[in-house]
Amino acid sequence: MGPYQQHKRRWRRFAAALGLSALLGAAAHAEYPERPVTIVVPYAAGGGTDAVARTLAASLQSTWGEPVIVENRAGVDGWIGTQRVLSQPADGYTVLLQLNSMLLWPWAVPEAKVDIARDLTLITKLQSSPMVPLVRGDSAAGTLEEMFQHCKARATGCSYGYATPSAELVGRQLAELGGLENAVTVPYKGTSQMVNDLLGGHIDIALVSAALATPLHHDKRAKALAVGTPERYTRLPDVPTFDEAGYPAKGGTTWYGLMVREGTPQPIVDRIYRAVQDAGKKPDVLTAIESQGGIPVFNTPDEFRRDVAEDLEAITPLGKKYLAR
């Protein structure tokens, strides 16, 4: 056998080995998951995001036949939990459930050195919901305009509370649009204390999620003055949007979705996506989202990436203006 034939045979063996390796890799991905999967929720247990995550985890566990564990890693507006995911292998066994407040981290949490497009692979947006400015039920103000007029007439002005960068962004815009130059901002670590302070008369306005606002509005303990979504919110149909109220603050829609570390093999990303899409058709998962004030989304990865790109384009100048420390 001449040198040419020997060289050709070696290349054939090499190509065959590569093909076998690819087949074995594909087979391994097809078996995912082969051990427990962890969904990291970067917020405290017991909240609305956590409740949805646990219902989703139960559905995925039923589909896959492997345990799906919810791990709460709260702190620094979700940065602690995100670090946890980024520190793990890119193998799909550690999944992040994260809110869109992370898009404001460059200004609100500058120590959070993460680029959502570079460091994470987006799977699907699970839900969206409006931000809602609340006042007490016995307040004389029934609209944003009336609230602003009331605040400007008071020598001490008004105070508003927020517990996330997204809520702070909306609050600062509304205060500027309403001409509240002397508004007092009150940051909170959690929404429970903020709502208690609102109802107790310690603050005048609270920026909260629709999940918190809806029951308080319906039982008249508080009034929802507007909603941050482009269209009226179905569970508060009598409440106008920011635009309808005449105060077009941006960034008033919150969402959360599923992500994995960048570099996760595409077949595994696809398997997670398909399983989550199936879960999104189940009544218990939909009920969990809707009971927390959310509007189910379950979009495709391409749609999720497009939404994030559009959000970043819209809020980047706002983050620089209102949140830069």
CA-closest candidate to residue 86, choices 262, 271, 301: 262
pLDDT reported for residue 214? 93
Q: Which two tokens stand for residue 58?
A: 């139960």
Domain that holds residue 271: 34-129+254-322
pLDDT for 105-126, tens place per residue? 999 999 999 999 999 999 999 9
Q: Is the domain of 112 the same as that of 40?
A: yes
Q: Of 245, 271, 300, at which residue does a domain stop?
A: 245
Q: Is the domain of 114 the same as that of 76?
A: yes
Report how many domains make up the chain.
2
What would the DSSP string read from start to end of 154-185? STT--EEEESSHHHHHHHHHHHHHTT-TTPEE
Q: Is the domain of 314 the same as that of 297?
A: yes
Check if the beta carbon of residue 278 is closer than 8 Å to that of residue 37: no
Query: What CATH number has the domain bearing residue 155?
Result: 3.40.190.10
pLDDT reported for residue 15? 59
Per-residue pLDDT for 139 more than 90? Answer: yes
Q: Of 187, 217, 245, at which residue does a domain stop?
A: 245
Element (H, E) at 49: helix 48-64
Q: Is the domain of 212 the same as that of 152?
A: yes
- What average pLDDT does range 95-108 have in this prediction? 96
Per-residue pLDDT for 30 more than 80? Answer: no
Q: Of 245, 266, 284, at which residue does a domain stop?
A: 245
Q: Which two tokens stand for residue 293?
A: 């004030």
CA-closest candidate to residue 288, choices 124, 47, 102: 47
Per-residue pLDDT for 222 more than 50? Answer: yes
Q: For residue 7, is it within any domain?
A: no
CA angle 278, 229, 310 (to 5 degrees): 75
Show the DSSP H helices in 105-245 as ranges: 105-108, 116-119, 144-153, 165-177, 191-199, 210-218, 242-245
17 falls in which pLDDT band (50, 70, 90)?
A: low
Q: For residue 286, is it within any domain?
A: yes
Percent of the chain predicted with pLDDT > 90: 82
- In three-state secondary structure terms, 205 is strand
Q: Is the domain of 100 the same as that of 150?
A: no
pLDDT for 58-76, tens place per residue? 999 999 999 999 999 999 9
Dist. CA 68–CA 65, nearest whole Å: 9
pLDDT reported for residue 5? 65
Per-residue pLDDT for 2 more than 80? Answer: no
Query: What CATH number has the domain bearing residue 40?
Result: 3.40.190.150
Q: Is the domain of 141 the same as that of 202?
A: yes
